[in-house]
Amino acid sequence: MTALRPVRGVRGIALLAMVLLAALAFPWVFRLPYHRDLAIKVFLYAMLAQAWNILAGYCGQISLGHAVFFGTGAYTSTVLQMTWGMNPWVGLLAGVVLAVALSLLIGYPCFRLRGHYFAIATIAIGEIVQTLAINWDFIGGARGLTLTIQKDSLLAFQFHTSKYPYYYIMLGLLTLCLLVSWRIERTRLGYYLRAIREDPEAAASVGIPVAKYKQIAMAISAAFVAAGGTFYAQYVLYLDPDSVLPLSLSILVCVLGVVGGTGTLWGPLVGAALLIPLSEFTRITLGGTGRAADLVIYGALLTGVAVFQPAGLVGLIGRRQG
Amino acid sequence: MFAIPPPDVLIQGILSGILMGFVYALIAAGLSLIFGLMEIVNFAHGEFLMLSMYTAFWMYALFALDPLLSVPICAAVLFALGWLSYAGIIRRILGGPMLAQIFATFGLAIFLRSAAQFLWTPDFRQVGEAWIQGPVRILGISVGLPQVVASAACLIAFGILYWFITGTETGMALEATAQDRQAAALMGINTERMFALGWGLGSACVGVAGAFLASFFYVFPHVGGLFALIAYVTVALGGFGSVPGSLVAGVIIGVIEVLGGLLIAPAFKYVAVFVLYLIVVLLRPQGLLGKF
Amino acid sequence: MAVATVLSLVTAPLAQTKEVVIGVLYPMTGPVAQVGIDSVNAIKVALDIINNDMNINVPLGKGAGLPRLGGAKVRIVVVDHQGKPDIGLAEAERLITQEKVQALFGAYFSSVTNTASQVAERMGIPYLNAESSSPALTERGFKWFFRTSPHDGHFSLAMFDFMRDFEKKRGIKFKSVAILNEDTQFGADSAKVQEELAKRYGYEVAAKIPFRTGTTSLDAEIGRLKAANADVLLPSIYTSDAILFTRTARNLDYNPKAIIAQNAGYTDPRFVTDMGKEAEGAITRAPFALDLAAKKPLIPVINDMFKKLSGGRDISDVPARAFTGFLTLADAINRAGSTDPMAIQKALVETNIPADQLIMPWTGVKFDEKGQNAGVRAILQQLQGGVYHTIYPFELATKEPIYPIPAWSQRR
């Protein structure tokens, strides 16, 4: 499962340039806050899914509790900001550091576990962290934290008059994540990760330090997810355990990655670009009646992809064999 | 936060924990059975439980059937569901990549949960007037009659399951397939049939548990979530693949849940349970009685 | 001819405002979807009254449409925020910039009301909240946010005032309270306020028990409550937990002398139907009291209109507040005589709706400088014989309180 084939050579570069140009121009064409918000959400979830992909797709470690890193990022930068007045950008870095530390804490014991056990362990950890957050008054507990509104400024990481800055920051973060993934794919790190995914015992037997590279993958993954968390906090200006730590977020990230295509560069983005608007569409058209139509589709897609086309949508486009 | 409650409260709690533990055990047994056969965790197990509870509820709401009477119906419906899940989905991903194995049932879980919400709304449903309700005194301690009946039924179901596996030819074939798939095939056992049977039986266990739960617990699309998580922990503790292990583990988990709540704080009762899972899989991956 | 031309010149600007659009945000999916559905139905009853000529003594009851806007009709755009603050934010923006609503209304969850009203404040659009309970919402110094409903602070205050007044009345003394709350924002907010008030009123907090909503059993929680043995239990829990709690309390023989609930589950009609007998003696704060129909003839009229839309369900606490809040908003827009946001804001500030035009047991609707309705009055009701009766304030009471709650063995 490697990068989408068309993105090679001159034709590939031209296509890439067009996509980038379109992304840059989007907010000038679509000026309504709602459309920009949709695009921002697509970019955010695409980045989260791609980050998850680094651990699950490239390295084969299926995490079902990735929301812990999102929450770590969001809470760290927010608490530092509100308690000690720390600048949110510095807070973002602090959140990343904490998330990486957390990933080491989780990875060290848990990477010994195989497939299913590891997955369940990540769910358990997610639940533990969410329960702790709900009962920890210092970080607001169940009541959450409302960020103090400040004047528009890049320094304060808050923009109220328009969404342009949020859009470009998120696009930047996504691009960075994609670049990092691309580099991983083409270097020895990617080779090791793939080897670990395909056959950990064989990889160990040829001398690859399996645990170390799993940790690296998880650390990179956690870093981006945490950055996304800080972005979310600065964008919505309110957070509580239910919005940044829930199992449903972990699940969503998996769905986008799997349906789009794990182990690929473009899979999660394709997944997000398709499923997030779909979700919005069903919510607006059917939402008033109280039914979870989009989730029904997600579930069916997830199973369908797992059974028939594990390479995901990208696999379909690239016409790979499974 | 730490506080020792008076002895009568403590004993009452432990008794309640044991009773609930039998229910957890039966739910876990189904999961364990499936895993023992083909090393696949059914991530939709909680949703199977939810569907069983809904079945019992609709039997009550539409036909005035008390959940007690719905037990065979729920078991049959869930058996069919398990069998179909195997035939339609699981069969195709056996031996496939880990990703496919996890997400095939994970997707099924999301699908079933959301479909339930779509069809029956997220409203909480309750069996209003079950035959079995109210308290009962055991050795002078007051506990819920529905819980007593549920746990007794789950124990009986356990007994039947155990007898089936060890005492009947089909059951022994099932066990043989779990021990060594290739050897079983060589002996002429139709492993495909065994897998489907395993899924059917495992789901039927959940069906029975669900019918009894419906008599005292409320039903809604997401009800399976927490029960499933507890089931995973139970299976891990008892040993993936060991049905008797589920029984022991279920009771232990039930008691730990209550004791964690009584002695530490109710807000953290499930944290205690999840931490236990982590400790078990890290220190003793084969659990108490499992083969690994 | 000339007269007609002059008349048309005068009426033309008014006639141009054919309709007024209000954006309505509620959770229409997820575990509390029923609340959203009920509230929207209640708003539809209000719309019916506003847009059609009826002879009902509520604001805008008479006449079709908004009289001071040339009979303009009111229309709502309903959105489902799924309980997510970020969706609430995005939807508020969409409603304002695309649907061009004149005002926003909703959103039940305090967390969503928080973010959605921030958008309104930023964009200078009035936001009327009829039912979110977090006191913090009116402590933000917002100029565009108005809340008609009482919040947790008022309700909890009423509970403690009741305890103190009841002590005097009966010559008894409560020593301790126990707080039981589910662990989402609603429960956490409520528990915090109650803990503070308990200290202020001099009651010992014998136990503070937050629990995970949707828990598989409440055995441990009730065990702790038994051990704490408080005189009064103060639960803030939703319907399903309330039902499980009541049943488990019966099974484990837990029976405090008094239960004073922060409504939610306890006022859900389903709880009353399923648990009415087991929950005998439970007291709850109630923003709305159906049994005050005798004193307020408006109530059965509105209730009948509601039942037609709801398939027979009685109007209850949350939809009743939605109904009242919506009429307040429409009334303000009418008094503003225009759809200019600043005019509507000014009209809201000047709101003064008298008690007899409300179905709520309040002294009126009049906003203080923080945007909070100062005319709110919380009442307490008690389940007696399977039906809620108002017991406090004593001058509004229809029945005497039952105290203490009879032991399980003495019931039935």
| Chain center to CA of C333 | 22
Residues of C contacting chain A (CB within 8 angstroms): 28-30, 33, 36-37, 40, 78-80, 82-87, 89-90, 93-94, 97-98, 111, 114-115, 118, 122, 134, 136, 183-185, 187-189, 192, 210, 212
Domains plus CATH for chain C? 2-150+295-365 (3.40.50.2300), 153-286+379-410 (3.40.50.2300)
CA atoms within 13 A on the CB side of C183: 24
pLDDT at B72: 95
- Say yes or no for a CB contact (<8 Å) between C33 and B123: yes
Cβ-Cβ contacts under 8 Å, A149 against chain C? 118
pLDDT at A322: 37
Which B residues, 226 through 245, put their C-beta within 8 Å of a C-beta on chain C? 226-227, 230
Asked if B122 reaches chain C (Cβ–Cβ under 8 Å), the answer is yes
Task: Select from C200, C203, C211, C201 the least CA-distant residue to C235.
Answer: C211
**Which of B42, B45, B99 to probe by mutation at the A interface, max A CB count within 10 Å?**
B99
Cβ-Cβ contacts under 8 Å, C229 against chain B? none
- Say yes or no for a CB contact (<8 Å) between B110 and A299: yes
The H-or-E segment that residue A134 falls in is: helix A115-134
Cis upstream peptide for C85 (omega within 30°): no
B and C: number of Cβ contacts within 8 A = 119
Q: What is the amino acid identity at position A31?
A: R
pLDDT at C8: 46
Question: In C154-267, which ranges are E strands?
Answer: 176-182, 204-211, 232-236, 258-261
Q: How far is C343 from chain A (nearest CA, A)?
A: 23
Asked if C215 reaches chain B (Cβ–Cβ under 8 Å), the answer is yes
Across the range B94-106, mean pLDDT stands at 85
Cβ-Cβ contacts under 8 Å, B225 against chain C? 214
Burial of B55 (0-12, 13-18, 19+ CB in 10 A): buried
Interface partners of B (3+ CB pairs, < 8 Å)?
A, C
Digit-coded pLDDT (tens) for B3-41: 688 888 899 999 999 999 999 999 999 999 998 888 888
Cβ-Cβ contacts under 8 Å, C185 against chain A? 142-144, 240, 242
Cβ distance C147 to C374 under 8 Å? Answer: no
- Say yes or no for a CB contact (<8 Å) between A258 and B278: no
Q: What is the amino acid identity at position C223?
A: G
pLDDT at A291: 62
If you ran DSSP here, which 8-state letter would residue A57 be given?
I
- Please check the confidence at residue B292 and state whether its pLDDT lies above 80: no
Cβ distance C64 to C55 under 8 Å? Answer: no
Torsion angles phi and psi, residue A150, rounded to 5:
-125, 170
Helix or strand or coil: residue C260? strand
Cβ distance C381 to C317 under 8 Å? Answer: no
- Mean residue pLDDT of chain C comes to 88
CA distance A226 to B157: 47
Q: How far is A295 from chain B (nearest CA, A)?
A: 6
Counted residue by residue, chain B has a size of 292
CA distance C36 to B137: 42
The single residue listed with the structure tokens 């709850």 is C284
The H-or-E segment that residue B224 falls in is: helix B224-238
Cβ distance A284 to C79 under 8 Å? Answer: yes
Q: Is the pTM of this model over 0.90?
A: no
Give the C-alpha distances (Å, rounded to integers) separating C45 from C107, C307, C309. 18, 10, 8
List the single residue in C with minimal CA-CA distance to A41.
C86
Give the C-alpha distances (Å, rounded to integers) separating A133 from A221, A239, B271. 22, 11, 12
- Say yes or no for a CB contact (<8 Å) between A34 and C94: yes
Of B17, B133, B266, the CB nearest to C211: B266
Task: Select from A180, A217, A176 the least CA-distant residue to A195.
Answer: A217
Cβ distance C222 to C184 under 8 Å? Answer: no
Beta bridge pairs of residue C286: C379
Cβ-Cβ contacts under 8 Å, C40 against chain A? 288
Cβ-Cβ contacts under 8 Å, B128 against chain C? 273-274
List the single residue in B with minimal CA-CA distance to A128.
B271
Which A residues, 292 through 321, put their C-beta within 8 Å of a C-beta on chain B? 292-293, 295-296, 298-308, 310
If you ran DSSP here, which 8-state letter would residue C372 be given?
B
Which C residues, 14 through 53, put their C-beta within 8 Å of a C-beta on chain B? 29-34
Cβ-Cβ contacts under 8 Å, B39 against chain A? 116
pLDDT at B1: 46
Asked if B118 reaches chain A (Cβ–Cβ under 8 Å), the answer is yes
- Say yes or no for a CB contact (<8 Å) between A243 and C86: yes
Asked if B40 reaches chain A (Cβ–Cβ under 8 Å), the answer is yes
List the single residue in B with minimal CA-CA distance to C212.
B267
Asked if C243 reaches chain B (Cβ–Cβ under 8 Å), the answer is yes
Across the range C307-318, mean pLDDT stands at 86
Burial of A168 (0-12, 13-18, 19+ CB in 10 A): middle
Task: Select from C123, C124, C72, C94 the least CA-distant residue to C24.
Answer: C94
- Say yes or no for a CB contact (<8 Å) between A305 and B103: yes
The single residue listed with the structure tokens 């907090």 is C205
Asked if C211 reaches chain B (Cβ–Cβ under 8 Å), the answer is yes
Digit-coded pLDDT (tens) for B122-177: 778 888 778 888 888 888 888 888 889 999 999 999 889 988 888 888 888 888 88
Digit-coded pLDDT (tens) for C327-378: 999 999 999 998 999 999 999 999 999 988 998 889 999 999 999 999 888 8
CA distance C181 to C170: 28
Burial of A137 (0-12, 13-18, 19+ CB in 10 A): exposed
The single residue listed with the structure tokens 């909703």 is C106
Digit-coded pLDDT (tens) for C160-204: 999 999 999 999 999 999 999 998 888 998 999 999 999 999 999
- Say yes or no for a CB contact (<8 Å) between C188 and A238: no
**Cα dihedral across residues A111, A116, A117, A119: positive or negative:** positive
If you ran DSSP here, which 8-state letter would residue A161 be given?
S
Of A33, A142, A291, the CB nearest to C185: A142
pLDDT at A320: 45
Digit-coded pLDDT (tens) for B117-129: 888 877 788 887 7
Domains plus CATH for chain B? 7-118+149-283 (1.10.3470)
pLDDT at C12: 45
Asked if B177 reaches chain C (Cβ–Cβ under 8 Å), the answer is no
Strand C103-106 and strand C145-147: the pairing is unpaired
Structure tokens that stand for C84 in this block: 């997510």
Other residues' Cβ atoms within 10 Å of the Cβ of residue B14: 18
- Say yes or no for a CB contact (<8 Å) between B111 and A115: no
A and C: number of Cβ contacts within 8 A = 94
- Please check the confidence at residue C14 and state whether its pLDDT lies above 60: no
Of B98, B114, B233, the CB nearest to A60: B98
The single residue listed with the structure tokens 């009766």 is C389
pLDDT at A321: 39
pLDDT at C88: 94
Per-residue pLDDT of chain A (322 residues; tens, 9 = 90+): 444 454 556 777 787 888 888 888 888 888 888 888 999 999 999 999 999 999 999 999 999 999 999 999 999 999 999 999 999 999 999 999 999 999 999 999 999 888 788 888 999 999 999 999 999 989 988 889 999 888 888 888 898 888 889 999 999 999 999 999 999 989 999 999 999 998 888 998 998 899 999 999 999 999 999 999 999 999 999 999 999 999 889 999 998 999 998 888 889 999 999 989 988 887 777 655 546 777 888 889 889 988 888 788 887 776 543 3
Percent helix / strand / coil, chain C, rounded to 5: 45, 20, 35
- Say yes or no for a CB contact (<8 Å) between C111 and A292: no
Digit-coded pLDDT (tens) for C18-72: 789 999 999 887 677 788 889 999 999 999 999 998 888 888 888 788 888 888 9
pLDDT at A318: 63
Of C29, C221, C251, the CB nearest to B266: C221
- Say yes or no for a CB contact (<8 Å) between B110 and A310: no
